[in-house]
């Protein structure tokens, strides 16, 4: 095993349960994360094998159950790369998931190395991969509870209900309550627009297509971190991809990059998701909760003072709420 003084108690417990006979050489953080409900580490064994260990730090094994089910389902039904599950435990203390390293490289460290033409190629790959996941259509919007290759066990509801419950989950993982009022205001706006939202198609969506979760090679592309996957609106998925991949890097108005992302999606799906423009203002407001709810972390990485950041967040959120008709 490993020296328990070098890792947290929960990580050490999960490693002992998962690999009681293995000698561990090194345990390192897998990368930055603002979700304190989980902790993920990179584990190197004495024989050189690498694995990734994710624990549910809050003890809730349902996310591990969901992720295992979705990985099995997507690996069977979609043409995108997924991690290989080595072992998992959903009822232990803590619950954990161990996966093998992806054969592809994470996009996050690659992006800065790519020129614009290469970035357009990657964005077309991402658009196509998202459309491939979204090609799995369902009768109703749902939370995923369990399942596997043969099908998913779902808890169904209207898209408005599912979306509100996902906003409440965003509130749960937020690290700051300074702007908590905006969760209530966005929920109110979502519920007021239930007729628009409930027209959305119901498809499988990854839920967090950020660069650290995207892995690619020259010929393949896939995703990790499937724990918030659900049956949702593909328009929100594509909107979120544009926001996380481009707008967060001040590239949201680069028509060539946006066209590449949308073009890859359209090539695989035949068209862009229905309602992409109509529901965009709602999803703009929902998306910005991911900034407002982490005010303390935004301040940490900003050159502006806390009050300047607060003024910006208030102005942005009020503008987005006003834009919802």
Q: Are residues 85 and 180 in the same domain?
A: no
Token pair listed for 59: 């003890």
Which residues are CB-contacts of 92 (< 8 A; sequence separation ≥ 6)? 13, 14, 17, 61
Domain finish residue from 70, 99, 128: 99
Domain finish residue from 43, 76, 99: 99
Q: Are residues 155 and 184 in the same domain?
A: yes
Token pair listed for 273: 């998701």
Q: Are residues 44 and 117 in the same domain?
A: no
> What is the pTM assigned to this prediction?
0.94
Q: Are residues 180 and 82 in the same domain?
A: no
Q: Are residues 214 and 183 in the same domain?
A: yes
Q: Are residues 218 and 153 in the same domain?
A: yes
Domain containing residue 312: CATH number? 3.90.1200.10
pLDDT 10s digit of each residue in the chain, 325 long?
Answer: 444 446 799 999 999 999 999 999 999 998 778 888 999 999 999 999 999 999 999 999 999 999 999 999 999 999 999 999 999 999 999 999 999 999 999 999 999 999 999 999 999 999 999 999 999 999 999 999 999 999 999 999 999 999 999 999 999 999 999 999 999 999 999 999 999 999 999 999 999 999 999 999 988 999 999 999 999 999 999 999 999 999 888 887 899 999 999 999 999 999 999 999 999 999 999 999 999 999 999 999 999 999 999 999 999 999 999 999 7
Q: Which domain holds residue 34?
A: 4-99
Q: Are residues 273 and 138 in the same domain?
A: yes
Q: Are residues 43 and 189 in the same domain?
A: no
Between CA 236 and CA 166 the distance in angstroms is 12
Domain containing residue 26: CATH number? 3.30.200.20
Token pair listed for 252: 């949201």
Q: Which residues pair with 154 in a beta bridge?
A: 144
Q: Are residues 76 and 176 in the same domain?
A: no
Q: Are residues 165 and 36 in the same domain?
A: no
Strands (E), the chain: 24-29, 38-45, 50-56, 85-89, 96-99, 105-106, 141-148, 151-157, 203-205, 214-216, 221-223, 230-232
Q: Are residues 90 and 117 in the same domain?
A: no
- Tally of structural domains, the chain: 2
Domain finish residue from 62, 78, 99: 99
Q: Are residues 159 and 17 in the same domain?
A: no
């Amino acid at each position: 095993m490993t020296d328990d003084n070098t890792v947290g108690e929960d990580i050490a417990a999960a490693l002992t349960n998962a690999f009681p006979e293995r000698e561990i050489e090194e345990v390192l953080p897998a990368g930055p994360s603002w979700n304190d409900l989980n902790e993920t580490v990179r584990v190197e064994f004495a024989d050189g094998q690498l694995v990734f260990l994710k624990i549910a730090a809050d003890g809730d094994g349902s996310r591990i159950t969901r992720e295992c089910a979705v990985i099995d389902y997507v690996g069977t039904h979609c043409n995108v790369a997924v991690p290989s599950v080595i072992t998992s435990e959903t009822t232990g203390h803590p619950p954990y998931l161990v996966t093998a390293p992806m054969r592809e490289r994470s996009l996050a460290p690659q992006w800065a190395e790519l020129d614009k033409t290469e970035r357009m190629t990657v964005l077309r790959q991402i658009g196509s991969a998202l459309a491939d996941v979204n090609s799995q259509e369902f009768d109703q919007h749902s939370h995923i509870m369990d399942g596997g290759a043969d099908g998913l066990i779902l808890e169904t509801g209207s898209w408005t209900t599912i979306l509100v419950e996902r906003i409440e989950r965003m509130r749960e993982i937020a690290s700051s309550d300074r702007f908590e009022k905006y969760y209530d205001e966005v929920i109110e706006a979502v519920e007021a627009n239930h007729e628009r939202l409930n027209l959305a198609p119901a498809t499988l969506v990854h839920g967090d297509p950020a660069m650290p979760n995207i892995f690619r090679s020259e010929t393949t592309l896939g995703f990790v971190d499937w724990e918030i996957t659900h049956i949702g609106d593909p328009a929100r998925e594509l909107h979120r991809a544009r926001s996380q991949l481009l707008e967060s890097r001040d590239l949201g108005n680069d028509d060539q990059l946006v066209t590449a992302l949308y073009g890859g999606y359209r090539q695989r799906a035949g068209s862009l998701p229905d309602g992409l423009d109509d529901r965009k203002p709602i999803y703009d407001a929902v998306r910005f909760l991911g900034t407002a709810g982490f005010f303390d972390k935004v301040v940490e990485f900003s050159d502006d003072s806390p009050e300047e950041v607060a003024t910006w967040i208030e102005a942005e959120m009020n503008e987005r709420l006003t834009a919802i008709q």
